[in-house]
Amino acid sequence: QVQLVESGGGLVQAGGSLRLSCAASGNIWRLNAMDWYRQAPGKQREFVASITSRGSTSYADSVKVRFTVSREKNTGYLQMRTLKPEDTAVYYCNARGTTTLIEDFDAWGQGTQVTVSS
């Protein structure tokens, strides 16, 4: 079983920065990709950023340049800069890979609240 634990959310003023972390643990043999999503009140969950095992990254247009996704072993990071009130949401990480039992996994974190005040 694979678990993801997120941290780093909080309240920040517009223009500020936050760094989110997502620590994956359990019987992980290989972690292929880690994605970040967010869900604002009354809206659907949306893709934010992704990083593959090879370090390839992709971003939603709304966060390009301002957000940077990275990864060190089984922990992912989302560095958020120049935050805007519209970035306010619950941020979730998602990880996909293979367990030591050679089974695919697709796990989600519990979410962390990011609130940006104007």
Over residues 67-81, the mean pLDDT reads: 97
pLDDT single digits (tens) 20-52: 999 999 999 999 999 999 999 999 999 999 999
Collect all residues with Cβ–Cβ distance below 8 Å to 100 and sequence separation of at least 6. 27, 28, 29
Over residues 82-98, the mean pLDDT reads: 97
Confidence of residue 78 (pLDDT cuts 50, 70, 90): very high
Over residues 89-93, the mean pLDDT reads: 98
Structure confidence at residue 92 (pLDDT)? 98
**What whole-number distance in Å separates Cα of residue 9 and Cα of residue 39?**
14
